[in-house]
Chains A and B, each alone.
Chain A
Amino acid sequence: MTPDLDPMILAIFLPLFGAIAAFMLPRAAAVIGLVTLAMTTGAVFWLAQRVLATGAVIVPLGGWGAPLGIDLRADGLSVAMLLLTSAVGFLVSVAALDSLKGADQARQRQYFWPLWLLLLTGMNGVYLSTDIFNLYVMIEVIALAAVGLTVLSGTKAALRAGLEYMYASILGALLFLMGVGFVYMQAGQLDFAGLIAAEPSAAMSAALALMIVGLLLKTALFPLHFWLPAAHANATAPASALLSGLVVKAALYIFLRLTTYMPLPDEILITLIGALGAGAVLWGGVQALRAERLKLLVAWSTVVQIGLIFIAFARAGQVGLAESWKAAALLILAHGVAKAAMFLAAGRIKDEIGHDRIRDLDRAPVRPTLAQFTFALAAISLIGLPPSLGFIGKWSLMEGAMSAGYWHWVVITMIGTLMSVAYFSRVLSAFLRFDRVRAPVGEHQGWALADAAPLTLALTAIGLGLMAAPILRFIEIGYPFGAAL
Chain B
Amino acid sequence: MMDAPLLPLFILMTSLLAAPILFALPERSARLRTGINLSMAALKVALVGWLSLKVSQGGIYDLRFEMLPGLEFKLQADPLAILFIALSAVLWLITTVYSVGYLEHGPHRARFFGFFSLCVAATVGIAMSGNLFTFLLFYELLTLATYPLVIHRGDAASLRAGRIYLIYTLAGGLVLLLGTLGLWVLAGTTDFVPGGVLADVVAETPLAAKLLFVVLIGALGVKAALFPFHAWLPIAMVAPAPVSALLHAVAVVKAGAFGIMRVVYEVFGIETAQALGVTVPLAVLAGITIIYGSLRAITQDDIKKRLAYSTVSQVSYITLGVALASPIAATGALAHLIHQGLMKITMFMAAGNLAEGLGVKRVSQMDGVGRAMPGTMLAFSLAALGMIGLPPLAGFVSKWYLAQGGLEAGQDWVIALLLGSSLLNAIYFLPMLHRAWFCDAAAQRDGAPGRPRIGWMLAAPPITTAVLVLVAGGFANAPFSPLEWTRFIVAIEYQE
Using CB atoms and an 8 Å cutoff, list the residues of chain A in contact with chain B.
Answer: 373, 380, 385-387, 392, 395-396, 398-399, 402-403, 410, 414, 417-418, 421, 425, 429, 432-435, 441, 443-444, 465-466, 468-469, 472
Contact = CB atoms under 8 A, between A and B. Distances in A.
22 contacts: A385-B140, A386-B136, A386-B137, A387-B67, A392-B68, A395-B68, A396-B68, A398-B178, A398-B181, A402-B181, A410-B178, A414-B178, A418-B171, A432-B148, A432-B162, A433-B159, A434-B154, A435-B154, A435-B155, A441-B107, A444-B26, A472-B68
B69 interface: yes
Interface string B173-208: 110011001101100000000000000000000000
Contacts of B144: 380, 385
B166 A418 contact: no
A386 B177 CA distance: 10
A434 B107 CA distance: 11
Contacts of B148: 432
B166 A465 contact: no
Given A417-B174, A418-B170, A433-B155, 17 more contacts: A373-B23, A385-B144, A386-B137, A386-B140, A386-B141, A395-B68, A395-B177, A395-B181, A410-B178, A429-B151, A429-B162, A434-B154, A435-B155, A443-B27, A466-B73, A469-B67, A469-B69
Contacts of A472: 68-69
B137 to A, nearest CB: 4
A395 B185 CA distance: 12
A358 B392 CA distance: 56
A398 B68 CA distance: 14
Interface string B209-238: 000000000000000000000000000000
A435 B177 CA distance: 35
Nearest to A443: B27
Nearest to B143: A385
Contacts, number: 78
B117 to A, nearest CB: 15
Say what secondary structure dominates the interface of chain A: helix
Contact of B26 (A425, A443, A466): A443
Interface string B147-174: 0100100111001001100100011011
B177 A398 contact: yes
Contacts of A402: 181-182, 185
A472 B136 CA distance: 21
Given A386-B136, A386-B137, A392-B68, A425 B163 contact: yes
B66 interface: yes
Contacts of A465: 67
Contact of B174 (A392, A418, A435, A466): A418
A287 B432 CA distance: 51
Contacts of A433: 151, 154-156, 159
A399 B184 CA distance: 8
Residue from B28, B137, B154, B162 whose CB has the most chain A CB atoms within 10 Å: B154
A468 B155 contact: no
B159 A432 contact: yes
Nearest to A384: B177
Residue from A396, A398, A466 whose CB has the most chain B CB atoms within 10 Å: A398
Contact of B151 (A398, A432, A444): A432
Interface of B: 23, 26-28, 66-69, 73, 107, 110, 136-137, 140-141, 144, 148, 151, 154-156, 159, 162-163, 166, 170-171, 173-174, 177-178, 181-182, 184-185
Contacts of A441: 107
A97 B69 CA distance: 40
A468 B184 CA distance: 17
Contacts of B166: 421, 425
B170 A421 contact: yes
B67 A468 contact: yes
Nearest to A401: B181
A444 to B, nearest CB: 6
Contacts of A392: 67-68
B30 to A, nearest CB: 12
Nearest to B136: A386
Contacts of A418: 170-171, 174
A396 B69 CA distance: 11
B290 to A, nearest CB: 31
- Top 5 closest pairs, chain A to chain B, by CB: A434-B154, A435-B155, A386-B137, A443-B27, A469-B66
A444 B27 CA distance: 8
A467 to B, nearest CB: 8
Contacts of A414: 174, 178
A378 to B, nearest CB: 13
Contacts of B173: 385
A435 to B, nearest CB: 4
A399 B185 contact: yes
B71 to A, nearest CB: 8
Nearest to A437: B154
Nearest to B175: A414
A465 B68 CA distance: 9
B19 to A, nearest CB: 12
Contacts of A443: 26-28, 107
B481 to A, nearest CB: 36
A432 B160 CA distance: 12
Contacts of B141: 386
A234 B138 CA distance: 38
B124 to A, nearest CB: 16
A399 B144 CA distance: 24
A264 B23 CA distance: 51
A158 B276 CA distance: 62
Contacts of A387: 67, 73, 137
Contacts of B28: 443
A403 B137 CA distance: 21
Residue from A433, A441, A466 whose CB has the most chain B CB atoms within 10 Å: A433
Contacts of B181: 395, 398-399, 402
B68 A469 contact: yes
Given A387-B137, A443-B27, A435 B69 contact: no
A131 to B, nearest CB: 33
Nearest to A473: B69
A429 B67 contact: no
Contacts of B156: 433, 435
A381 to B, nearest CB: 12
Contacts of B154: 432-435
Nearest to A435: B155
B362 to A, nearest CB: 23
B464 to A, nearest CB: 32
Nearest to B70: A469
A370 B144 CA distance: 17
A380 B159 CA distance: 19
B276 to A, nearest CB: 21
A150 to B, nearest CB: 34
Contacts of B73: 387, 466
Contacts of A432: 148, 151, 154, 159, 162
A429 B174 contact: no
A387 B141 CA distance: 9
Contacts of B170: 418, 421
Residue from A418, A434, A472 whose CB has the most chain B CB atoms within 10 Å: A434
Nearest to A330: B68
A443 B25 CA distance: 11
A471 to B, nearest CB: 10
